[in-house]
Structure 1
Amino acid sequence: MSETIEEEDMLSSLPDAILIEILSLLPINSAAVTSVLSHRWRYLWTGVNRLQFEAEASHFTDIADHILGQLTSHKLRDFELFLSSPSELPEDDALESSFRNVCRRNVEKIFIHVQCSFYEEFFFVPACLFTSQSLVILELVGKLKFDLLADDEIGTIQIPNLKKLSLDYLLDVPLWLGNLVRSCPLLENLNLVFKLDWAESEIADSVDICALNLRLLKIDLEFVGRTQRINISIDAPKLEHLNLRDCTSYYDFVRNPTALVRACIDLIKEERYLEDEDDMDWFPSNHYLHHMSKFVGGMSSISSLDLKLERDSNIFTYLSSVDDGFLPVFRNLSNFEMTLDGIGLNGWKDLILSLRCFPYLKHLEVNMEGDPPMELNHWCEPGSVPECLVSKMKTLQIRGLIGIDDDLKLLAYILSNGVVLDELCVDVCIRNDCKEALHWKERKFCMSLFKLPRSSSTCEVVFSDNFRAHGWQVAVGIFAT
């Protein structure tokens, strides 16, 4: 008992300012409980500058107004809310009033996570969040809807100090989205997640993302059951990191981002896209492939690229073709990771031809996924050898080969031309119902691989299969022939 009192006395000896900072790190319920410790602690919690609490929707406004009414600090640094059952929220006016009280505290960060329990449950975002002059970070998670109008209310949107905006997830593409981004002149980080499966309102057919200070952009768009395409234009000259997962929209750079360092572009369809044959007519066309290859070609400043493609979005067919005398050259790219879903060995010819766009590539990782038909698994040797394979490439990892003779032809091409190659990692997944036959085929493929001639005297071949292990370093051939 004496030790507890001594610890309490040591804590109480700290200045009020430090104690308030400590209390600000606690959920508000825990902070308020400290009021019973002693007379000195009774009102300390009311000075917190960070408000974090969980609430059921039916009680949110009462709780929020009660707590805010007791706070003495004029500055609320963070406001974090975890809300369940938004359908039970009170009328819009009461909700707007509660959030307006939050914004009056010159709040810098607002994070709201809404847990929706059933399909027709949404969270209508209070409009006052988009007029906060002090807000620096705004993160909203849940099924989001807005009452903002494209023309009548868009002029009221003004968040001059906002640096990070995350909307996860949007049920439509608001007509005012581009205006919202433009109203944030200091915006550096933008995250947009769309789930448009059941969009009911009008969807914008184009979005202009104009953010002159933007450094990180992430767009995740799921669009099922519609034939509409969206044109997304990006004007972000300071962009450094780009992450896109969207297999339907058309993307453009107003001006190519010369500061771009890393990009991850995922153009693979969800399995749900394949369920409705009525949607087959809007799958990517040659025009789409040509358009998106030009978009990727505009990222020539990057040093690291992660590209995820399938048969309908295989832009390698167009990436290396000269368009109006222009061939994109990625002079800074040293690391390239790609996923080829359902493309098979047939896609390797276009891939290798495209490598002339990456003359300084040192590390290449190719993940072959899906189960393409055998007619797509034929190796066709290109008529030329990319310079990066001969003089620059140090490591090459290939996952998802199926252990056929054409796989060996591909690997023979790589080993015979990889003059400075240090390591070739090969992961094979042979399909066979018989365990003994599977083991025999994998062993045979492994031995054939190790016997292939190598141009590099230092090249190490690392073989992995699913029969014996899940990692690399299962069988290693370090000899040169």
Structure 2
Amino acid sequence: MDQLPPPTKRLAVDRLSTVPDPILAEILSLVPTKTAVSTSVLSTRWRSVWTQITSIHLDYNHFPQHSSDFYTIANNLLLTQLTSPVLRTFYLHAPFRSRQHFESWFRHLSARNVEIIDINVEDDSKLSDTTSVPPFTIPLCIFQTQSLVCLNFRPTRLDYVLPVDPHTVVNLPNLKRLGLSLIASQCLFVSKLVSSCPLLDDFSLTAAQCSCHGHFTFDDDDDDDTGDLIDISCGILKRLELNTSYMKVKVLIDTPKLESFSLKGIDVACCFVKKPIALSEATIITNYPRVVAPIMPVLFDVRVLQILGTSLHMFEGFKDDKGNLLVFHNLTELNLESSTEGVDELIMFRLKSPSPCLLLKVKKINLVFSSVEYGLNLMKLAHYLLGNAPALERLSFVLGPQARQSEDGVKFRLDEMVFCMDLYSCSRESSGCQIEFQGQYAKVPANIAEFQDMENQVVLLRESLSPVDADAVKAS
């Protein structure tokens, strides 16, 4: 029988080398720019592939060995070495250090028809004095870059100014997402900017400085200069986030297709021209009822409501003229975050004669508090929620990251266990409701056996406490 010929030796094929350079450049555009640049050492062929990338992702943390020269490196990459005629994305995450490069960068980006600009500049604690440095002025060419889809200046340490002249030409026909900070003198320009973006569906605005003090409403005279007016008129806007904590401002909102609304403020008066019929989610961060009351008619039909702050006092804004809680027709999820001290104000819930209107259709309630030290007040809240939510499926208590504890942790652990046992014993309007507790030491018992085991642990912990601390736990 003839012997079979030996198998042919196949040479290893480098499939990646057969990929055209433009496709390789698109792949490298998906990774951090430092990673893309590092491919230049692979071979002669790869030496210049990265220069064709269409996305720049510059993160200060990716350059630890050259941190002192970060801006110089970024300047060379962007202005000198890149060869692609189009730059889709420019992302910058860096410390506040120098403005000298920014103007040339933005003009360069505009010339390359950039689509996404995302700036996140952080505080540099090494700088002893930044107050003497003038703010960076955003070139007008950015507001005339027709290719822009996303322009996001996150609340940063980079002090920049927008144009003040409301007659400035704005040409952003493709902009869909906008995030800005502003000072009082720029309100008119921001109003013009929003109305000049026909495709804008996501807008985030942060006030950068306080212009005056006191509070006001839309009932103030038009010639009263106690506040600054921002007119947000956009026919297709779906998400609006306002952070006016550092500025006294009036906001006139005309967004009929709004779906998500977030408001954080102290001296802010919001007025909706028309109720957005699609609004389904709202987040309110304030302690002041006067901020909440004017927008209550807009919130009646939301499905998800988040109340975040340091006090539950702002719930006064959820009452009608007779002091009763208002009706939320579609509310299915309620999220509350407060310091424990604010629970002392739970009288506003009318705990002795509660009204179920707020909780009639609620299925999920998430509560975040700083401590269970004052367990009696929190239990009042738990009894109210569990006794007035017939559709409730889950009630969750979470201790926030700022949770306090005693030096040895014994009393804190005991507080948690006593609170969990009380939660387990609460009567529930909804028989299928599950109660969860996320603390540091304890969780709600799942059955009688776990309850009895927790009782035994409580007895042991109380015996280990001093008489004064033990009496305090019993009182709570």
Decide: shared fold, TM above 0.5. Answer: yes
The 1-side partners of 2:39 and 2:380 are apart by: 72
Which residues of 2 match residues 133-148 of structure 1 at below 5 A? 133-141=146-154, 142-148=156-162
Q: Which residue of 2 aligns with 1:19?
A: 24
Q: Which residue of 2 aligns with 1:89?
A: 100
- Secondary structure of residue in 1 paired with 2:28: helix
The 2-side partners of 1:296 and 1:316 are apart by: 11
Residue 197 of structure 2: which of 184, 188, 200 is its match?
Answer: 184
1:344–1:451 CA distance, 2 compared to 1 (3 A)? closer
The 2-side partners of 1:115 and 1:253 are apart by: 34
1:231–1:171 CA distance, 2 compared to 1 (3 A)? closer
Question: Matched residue pairs, number?
Answer: 404
Deviation digits for residues 367-386 of structure 1, max 9, x if unmatched?
A: 455xxxxxxxxxxxxxxxxx
Q: Which residue of 2 aligns with 1:174?
A: 186
1:354–1:109 CA distance, 2 compared to 1 (3 A)? farther
CA apart distance, 1:163 = 0.6
Q: Which residue of 2 aligns with 1:303?
A: 303
Amino acid at match of 2:332: S
Deviation digits for residues 327-360 of structure 1, max 9, x if unmatched?
A: 9642221111223443334424436656425542
Which residues of 2 match residues 189-204 of structure 1 at below 5 A? 189-196=202-209
TM-score (normalised: structure 1): 0.68
Q: Is the 8 A contact 1:58 1:89 kept in 2?
A: no
1:465–1:114 CA distance, 2 compared to 1 (3 A)? closer
Q: Which residue of 2 aligns with 1:216?
A: 239
- The reply to whether residue 65 of structure 1 matches residue 84 of structure 2 is no
Q: Which residue of 1 aligns with 2:276?
A: 257
More strand by share: 1
**Mean CA deviation greater in 16-25 or 31-40:** 31-40
Q: Which runs of 5+ in 1 are unaligned?
A: 269-283, 370-398
The 2-side partners of 1:360 and 1:177 are apart by: 39
Q: Which residue of 2 aligns with 1:321?
A: 320
CA apart distance, 1:457 = 8.8
Q: Is the 8 A contact 2:203 2:237 kept in 1?
A: yes
CA apart distance, 1:39 = 5.3
1:171–1:143 CA distance, 2 compared to 1 (3 A)? farther
**Mean CA deviation greater in 81-90 or 300-309:** 81-90
CA apart distance, 1:427 = 7.9
- The reply to whether residue 47 of structure 1 matches residue 52 of structure 2 is yes
Q: Is the 8 A contact 2:115 2:149 kept in 1?
A: yes
The 2-side partners of 1:438 and 1:115 are apart by: 36
1:351–1:19 CA distance, 2 compared to 1 (3 A)? farther
1:348–1:6 CA distance, 2 compared to 1 (3 A)? farther
Which residues of 2 match residues 29-428 of structure 1 at below 5 A? 30-32=35-37, 34=39, 40-53=45-58, 56-57=70-71, 61=75, 63-68=77-82, 71=83, 73-87=84-98, 89=100, 95-117=102-124, 118=127, 119-120=130-131, 122-141=135-154, 142-151=156-165, 154-167=167-180, 170=182, 174-175=186-187, 176-196=189-209, 205-223=228-246, 229-268=248-287, 284=288, 289-290=289-290, 292-309=292-309, 314-322=313-321, 329-341=327-339, 342-350=341-349, 355-357=356-358, 359-367=360-368, 400=372, 402-404=374-376
Q: Is the 8 A contact 1:24 1:51 kept in 2?
A: yes
Amino acid at match of 2:243: D
Q: Is the 8 A contact 1:172 1:196 kept in 2?
A: yes
Q: Is the 8 A contact 2:367 2:396 kept in 1?
A: no
CA apart distance, 1:242 = 2.0
Q: Which residue of 2 aligns with 1:372?
A: none
% identical equivalent positions: 28
The 2-side partners of 1:112 and 1:450 are apart by: 48
CA apart distance, 1:186 = 0.8
Q: Is the 8 A contact 1:209 1:235 kept in 2?
A: yes
TM-score (normalised: structure 2): 0.68
Amino acid at match of 1:106: N
1:123–1:244 CA distance, 2 compared to 1 (3 A)? same
Q: Which runs of 5+ in 2 are unaligned?
A: 1-10, 60-68, 213-224, 450-476
1:15–1:292 CA distance, 2 compared to 1 (3 A)? same
- Secondary structure of residue in 2 paired with 1:298: helix
Q: Is the 8 A contact 1:57 1:84 kept in 2?
A: no
1:246–1:235 CA distance, 2 compared to 1 (3 A)? same
Q: Is the 8 A contact 2:373 2:415 kept in 1?
A: no
- Secondary structure of residue in 1 paired with 2:299: coil
The 2-side partners of 1:63 and 1:451 are apart by: 64
CA apart distance, 1:161 = 0.8
Q: Is the 8 A contact 2:365 2:394 kept in 1?
A: no
CA apart distance, 1:128 = 1.9
Deviation digits for residues 294-317 of structure 1, max 9, x if unmatched?
A: 313312231111113555x73433
The 1-side partners of 2:392 and 2:161 are apart by: 58
Q: Is the 8 A contact 1:219 1:243 kept in 2?
A: yes
Q: Is the 8 A contact 2:362 2:389 kept in 1?
A: no
Amino acid at match of 1:76: L
- Secondary structure of residue in 2 paired with 1:11: helix
- Secondary structure of residue in 2 paired with 1:252: strand
